[in-house]
């Protein structure tokens, strides 16, 4: 199946990055959100990030302008349903995603491939609520999307080979590399990464180190580009907690229990960079 247009649901930090790379690769993009403010903010961020690429000499001005012209925004689901590929990139909460799929499915073209950028929720379960489990899969980008070269592709139990190959071709056209993961809680990257972040929060909670010593230790001692607490703030502490809960519930193993300090920060609304405060203060 030839993909020419991509609908993206959710204009947050993942959705705007996905729109950016899809438009640059030549796809017509329909970006949807429930808030006009979020759509305007996303377009502004995309233009700013593209301008940075132009000013660094990594992108021609004409390509930048063509990419921006390929993106349309909408508060409605109808134009999204007309796209060849839809990527849902809304909040990492299953009930939110299911509501979106319930509303979207009646508007989809029969041949549209439906995917979710979920970082941890069961693809098989999400697919089972739609009319097309065979044309449904996980399409998981890493943050920041324009910089990170990996996309995890996750097949649900019913996903057919044609759907997988069409999604793989999109990843290749983006110039990114796909890692195929089986549909188990948090797939590959977050199964490994988020428990490490959770362990870093335990290290802080137990007083083994402070915020800066923990991050410095992992940056200089393990060559990580960001320390685990800085990375947690970057991902969002609510997302990290949601992923730990999916692992804990789905694998029923106490080694995945979320650190109480992580829970407390989320309860306080200290969600990381996006909230202005997490393990660091961004205000
Ligand atoms: N959008 C576009 N480009 C961006 C960007 C953004 N949001 N943020 C940074 N960049 C670009 C910069 O313009 C710069 O580009 P050039 O190389 O062309 O100059 C490049 O990225 C490096 O940025 P900086 O020099 O500003 O800063 P840095 O060297 O500290 O790198 C980083 C920033 C790329 C974010 C780096 O710190 C890093 O790789 N961090 C780890 C990120 C990571 O682990 N992501 C995965 C998170 S897990 C996930 O996403 C899965 C999930 O489901 C939770």
Predicted confidence (pLDDT) per residue in 121-146, tens digit: 999 999 999 999 999 999 999 999 99
Gap between the Cα atoms of 23 and 268, Å rounded: 37
Q: Indicate whether residue 59 lines ligand 1 (CB < 6 A).
A: no
pTM of the model: 0.94
CATH number among 3.90.1150.10, 3.40.50.10490, 1.10.1040.10, 3.40.50.300, domain 192-275: 1.10.1040.10
Q: Indicate whether residue 49 lines ligand 1 (CB < 6 A).
A: yes
Positions of CATH 1.10.1040.10 in the chain: 192-275
Q: What is the pLDDT of residue 234?
A: 97
Gap between the Cα atoms of 67 and 179, Å rounded: 26
* Average pLDDT of the residues of the chain: 97
The tokens for 67 are 């990419």
CB 46 within 8 A of CB 37: no
| Catalytic status, residue 213 | no
State which of 22, 67, 92, 144 you would mutate to test the pocket of ligand 1, scoring each by most atoms of that ligand within 8 A of its C-beta.
Answer: 144
Gap between the Cα atoms of 59 and 50, Å rounded: 8
Gap between the Cα atoms of 216 and 128, Å rounded: 44
Q: Indicate whether residue 226 lines ligand 1 (CB < 6 A).
A: yes
- 214 CB contacts (<8 Å, ≥6 apart)? 200, 203, 204, 208, 227, 228, 229
Gap between the Cα atoms of 126 and 136, Å rounded: 9
Q: What is the pLDDT of residue 92?
A: 87
Question: If residue 175 lies in a helix (H) or strand (E), which one and from where to where?
Answer: none
pLDDT in tens, 195-236: 999 999 999 999 999 999 999 999 999 999 999 999 999 999
Name the H helices within the chain. Answer: 13-24, 36-55, 61-69, 78-81, 94-104, 123-128, 161-173, 189-205, 211-222, 228-235, 237-251, 260-268
Output the CA 148–ligand 1 centroid distance in Å: 7
Gap between the Cα atoms of 228 and 233, Å rounded: 9
| Catalytic status, residue 60 | no
Selection from 90, 87, 143 nearest residue 116 by Cα: 87
Q: Is the pLDDT of residue 1 over 80?
A: no
Mean pLDDT of 52-77: 97
Answer yes or no: CATH 1.20.81.30 is held by domain 5-182.
no
Burial of 147 (0-12, 13-18, 19+ CB in 10 A): exposed
Positions of CATH 3.40.50.720 in the chain: 5-182
Q: What is the pLDDT of residue 248?
A: 97
């Amino acid at each position: 199946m030839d993909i020419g247009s991509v609908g993206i649901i959710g204009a947050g930090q993942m959705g705007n990055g996905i729109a950016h790379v899809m438009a640059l690769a030549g796809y017509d993009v329909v970006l949807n959100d429930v808030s006009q403010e979020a759509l305007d903010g996303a377009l502004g961020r995309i233009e700013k990030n593209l301008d940075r690429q132009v000013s660094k000499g990594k992108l021609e001005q004409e390509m930048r302008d063509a990419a921006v012209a390929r993106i349309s925004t909408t508060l409605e689901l109808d134009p999204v349903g007309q796209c060849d590929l839809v990527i849902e990139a809304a909040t990492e909460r299953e009930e939110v995603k299911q509501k979106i799929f319930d509303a979207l499915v009646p508007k989809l073209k029969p041949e549209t491939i439906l995917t979710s950028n979920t970082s941890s929720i069961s693809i098989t379960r999400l697919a089972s609520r739609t009319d097309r489990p065979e044309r449904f899969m996980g399409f998981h980008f890493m943050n920041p999307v324009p910089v990170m070269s990996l996309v995890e592709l996750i097949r649900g139990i019913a996903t057919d080979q044609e759907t997988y190959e069409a999604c793989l071709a999109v990843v290749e056209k983006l110039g990114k590399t796909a890692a195929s993961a089986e549909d188990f809680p948090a797939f590959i990257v977050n199964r490994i990464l988020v428990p490490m972040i959770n362990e870093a929060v335990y290290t802080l909670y137990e007083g083994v180190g402070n915020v800066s010593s923990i991050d410095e230790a992992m940056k200089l001692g393990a060559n990580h580009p960001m320390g685990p607490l800085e990375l947690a703030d970057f991902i969002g502490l609510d997302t990290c907690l949601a992923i730990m809960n999916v692992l804990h519930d789905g694998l029923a193993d106490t080694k995945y229990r979320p650190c109480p300090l992580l829970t407390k920060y989320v309860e306080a609304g200290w969600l990381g960079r996006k909230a202005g405060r997490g393990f660091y203060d961004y205000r």
